[in-house]
C-alpha cells in the first residue's frame, strides 16, 4: 500500500521508522533483529536510507590512496526483506547525488518488480564524489528533477522512447527542513523548493529531525500559506549519547535546545538515553495532541530508545 493511502485510511495516528543498511560486510542478522523489534509496534512503513559512493583516503605502503566506494550498499535487498518477510511497506530513499538518471531508472524498475510502491526522493549530501557522465548519460541535479523523472515513469515515459511502455505507480515522498536546508539563504526560499517538489509530483513531505516543535508548527504554517497542501510528517530523533550534542548539529544542521543540551551534559554515564527518551516523548505527545497524521522516528540502528518511548506513548 502507498504511504499516502496509509495516511488517508488511518483511524489513529501512525508511527513509522527510518533505518540504515549495514556497513559493507556488516551483519545482516543484526539489522533483521532491529526490524523484528520495530515490527512489534506495527508500523505501516519503514524508510531505508540509501548511500552514494564517496571519496575515501586509505593508507598504503606507498602513502594515502584516493578510492571511491559505497560504504553502505544493500538498500534494495533490505527493502525486499522488510516488505516480503515482515509485510511492512518499505520506502527506499532514491538519490540524485552519485547516480545517473539511467541508474535511477534501473533501480526504480527493480523496485517495481519487487512490488515496492513507495520511494523518498532526495538530492543527497555531497560526498566529495561527482560521477563522471559517459556515453550520453545524465544526472538529476535537484530533488525536484528526480521527482519529475519518477512522475514521468508513472505516466509510462521512460528515458528511451519505448513502445507500449508500462507505467510505474510510485508514491513519492520528499524531505522538508523546519529549520531550513543549510544551503538555503532563508526559510522562504527553502519552502519554494519544497513547493517545486510537490508541483513535480511529490505526495507527502517528511521533515528533517528537529528538537523544538515550534520549528515544525511554523514550517507547516508557512508551507500551507505557500499553497503546499500535502501531508507533512514530523521527524524525531532520540538523543542517546553525549556525542549527539556535537555530531547532530554538525551533520544535520539543526538546533538542540539549551534545556535538552544542559540535561544531557549533566547526565551521568549511562543516563543520557532516558533524558533523550523523555524529551522525544514530550515532543511526540505535543505533536499528536496537535493532530499530526503520523510521527516518523529516525531509529537508524538501535531499537532500545524507541522501545522505551513507545511503551509510554498512547497511540
pTM for this prediction = 0.92
C-alpha cell of residue 239: 538523543
Of 232, 235, 229, residue with least CA distance to 209: 235
Alpha helices (H) in 60-173, listed in sequence order: 75-86, 101-113, 143-154
In the chain, the percentage of residues whose pLDDT exceeds 70 is 92
DSSP SS3 for 192: helix
Q: Which CATH architecture has domain 3-310?
A: Alpha-Beta Barrel (3.20)
pLDDT of residue 227: 98
* Positive or negative torsion for Cα 256, 280, 247, 48: negative
CA distance 184 to 19: 27
Phi, psi dihedral angles at 229 (to 5 degrees): -115, 10
pLDDT of residue 291: 95
d(CA 199, CA 252): 26
Instruction: Point out which residues pair with 54 in neighbouring strands.
Output: 69
Give the span between the Cα atoms of 122 and 175, in whole angstroms.
7
pLDDT at 147: 98
Give the per-residue pLDDT at 27: 81
Q: Grid coordinates in use for 211? A: 528538537
CA dihedral 116, 118, 124, 130 (to 10 degrees): 40
pLDDT at 55: 53
Report residue 112: phi and psi, to 5°. Answer: -60, -40
- pLDDT beneath 70, residues of the chain: 53-71, 126-131
pLDDT for the residue numbered 25: 82
Amino acid at each position: 500500500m502507498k504511504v499516502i493511502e496509509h495516511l488517508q485510511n488511518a483511524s489513529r495516528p501512525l508511527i513509522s521508522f527510518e533505518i540504515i543498511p549495514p556497513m559493507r560486510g556488516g551483519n545482516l542478522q543484526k539489522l533483521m533483529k532491529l526490524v523484528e523489534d520495530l515490527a512489534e509496534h506495527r508500523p505501516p512503513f519503514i524508510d531505508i536510507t540509501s548511500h552514494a559512493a564517496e571519496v575515501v583516503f586509505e593508507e598504503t605502503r606507498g602513502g594515502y590512496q584516493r578510492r571511491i566506494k559505497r560504504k553502505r550498499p544493500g538498500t534494495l535487498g533490505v527493502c525486499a526483506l522488510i516488505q516480503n518477510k515482515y509485510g511492512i511497506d518499505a520506502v527506499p530513499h532514491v538519490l540524485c547525488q552519485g547516480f545517473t538518471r539511467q541508474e535511477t531508472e534501473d533501480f526504480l524498475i527493480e523496485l517495481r518488480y519487487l512490488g515496492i510502491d513507495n520511494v523518498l526522493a532526495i538530492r543527497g549530501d555531497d560526498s566529495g564524489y561527482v560521477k563522471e557522465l559517459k556515453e550520453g548519460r545524465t544526472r538529476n541535479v535537484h530533488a525536484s528533477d528526480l521527482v519529475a523523472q519518477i512522475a514521468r515513469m508513472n505516466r509510462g515515459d521512460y528515458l528511451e522512447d519505448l513502445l507500449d511502455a508500462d507505467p510505474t505507480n510510485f508514491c513519492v515522498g520528499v524531505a522538508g527542513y523546519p529549520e531550513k536546508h543549510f544551503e538555503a539563504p532563508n526559510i522562504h526560499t527553502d519552502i519554494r523548493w519544497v513547493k517545486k517538489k510537490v508541483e513535480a509530483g511529490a505526495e507527502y513531505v517528511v521533515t528533517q529531525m528537529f528538537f523544538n516543535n515550534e520549528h515544525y508548527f511554523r514550517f507547516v504554517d508557512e508551507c500551507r500559506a505557500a499553497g503546499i497542501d500535502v501531508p507533512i510528517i514530523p521527524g524525531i530523533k532520540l538523543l542517546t549519547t553525549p556525542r549527539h550534542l556535537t555530531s547532530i548539529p554538525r551533520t544535520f544542521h539543526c538546533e538542540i535546545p539549551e534545556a535538552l543540551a544542559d540535561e544531557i551534559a549533566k547526565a551521568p554515564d549511562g543516563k543520557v538515553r532516558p533524558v533523550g527518551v523523555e524529551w522525544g516523548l514530550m515532543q511526540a505527545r505535543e505533536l499528536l495532541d496537535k493532530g499530526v497524521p503520523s510521527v516518523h522516528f529516525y531509529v537508524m540502528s538501535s531499537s532500545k530508545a524507541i522501545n522505551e518511548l513507545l511503551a509510554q506513548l498512547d497511540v
